Amino acid sequence: MTPGPPGTPAALGLPVPPGSGWPEDPATPATPVAADAAQVRALAAEAEAAGSLGELMARQSVCRACPRLVEWREQVAAAKRASSRTQRYWGRPIPGWGDEHARVLILGLAPAAHGGNRTGRIFTGDRSGDVLFAALHRCGLAALPTSTSAGDGQRLIGARMVAAVRCAPPDNKPSVTERDTCAPWLAAEFTLVAPTVRVIVCLGGFAWQAAWPMLRSAGFAPPRPRPKFGHGSEVTLAAPAGPGGRAAPAGPGGRAAPAGRAEVAGPALGGGPGRGEVLLLGCYHPSQQNTFTGRVTPAMLDAVFGRACQAAGAGGAPPGGK
């Protein structure tokens, strides 16, 4: 990295250079860097074709394809906030994190400016993550009730976290172009972990919308019209018919639904997905605003993640719990 003028991110050693010793950094100085949308597509496809989740994560973590997001994440990392002024910020995209053979996939919007953008791990170091990891620990999907920094000993158990957009966006609002530019990273990651994933929990409406092209890329047939997002909403998608194929999702009682359709139900739907099926669950985002206003509560999160564990055959009592 070439040092810049005093006070700039480059002059402060930001973003963190790949392979420089940051805990859980998947990249090295030799990791290829995507500079535009075409390169994102090419590098994601290459890692997917090689079947290398580790290489895909490394490439995600050094991407520079969206100029506005790159500028913002690095400015935030240089300026910091008062409570973190003595800490070094990650200032890079946040790769997927968790169990490589996950049965539950948790899909969020984007890293927080002073959370993941600071710590280098998704949902780590901010209040949203505090609430989320506490819920995951209660249902046995996380080893610890808190996630404070990369390398803190936290691990996910049968679960994996990904973001629709890998860089912290201004005002937590990525543009449509930024979402679409980042989509190949998400699609490739899902394709690599899809063989074991049974449940996808979408945290918020943005993640719910991002899930449909992700699922389509892996061969699932999104329903038409697409079901609306809601807390506790459920959609069961049938397994793909084969490479590049589409399958008609199963309807009530095991009957085949019309092609391009899926079984849609509210929170009362019981049981889990059948062989090869995926259950999509909606969950209000545990943002600070949502938790402070009571729009989402610990009990509501417990209900969604309890349902996810039951359907996926994952979780259980937290480590050390009764």
| DSSP line for 204-249 | SHHHHHHHHHHHHHTT----SSPPPP-TT-EEEEPPPSSTT---PP
Question: What's the pLDDT tens digit per position in 116-175?
Answer: 999 999 999 999 999 999 999 999 999 999 999 999 999 999 999 999 999 999 999 999
Mean pLDDT, residues 286-297 taken together: 96
**Does residue 224 have a pLDDT over 80?**
yes
Q: Give the helix, strand, coil percentages of the chain, each rounded to 5.
A: 35, 10, 55
22 within 8 A of 88, measured Cβ to Cβ: no
| Lowest-pLDDT range of 212-221, 238-247, 266-275 | 266-275
pLDDT at 5: 52
Q: Is 227 left (phi over 0), alpha (psi -120 to 50) or beta?
A: beta
Question: What's the pLDDT tens digit per position in 38-84?
Answer: 999 999 999 999 999 999 999 999 999 999 999 999 999 999 989 89
Q: How far apart are CA 182 and CA 167, in angstroms?
A: 9
Question: In which band, very low, low, confident or very high, does the pLDDT at 256 lie, cut at 50, 70 and 90?
Answer: very low
Closest alpha carbon to 235 in 191, 190, 269, 205: 269
Query: Per the structure block, which two tokens stand in for 100?
Result: 């490589």
| pTM to 2 decimal places | 0.87
pLDDT at 38: 98
Do β-strands 159-163 and 97-98 pair in parallel, antiparallel, or remain unpaired?
antiparallel
Question: In which band, very low, low, confident or very high, does the pLDDT at 252 lie, cut at 50, 70 and 90?
Answer: very low
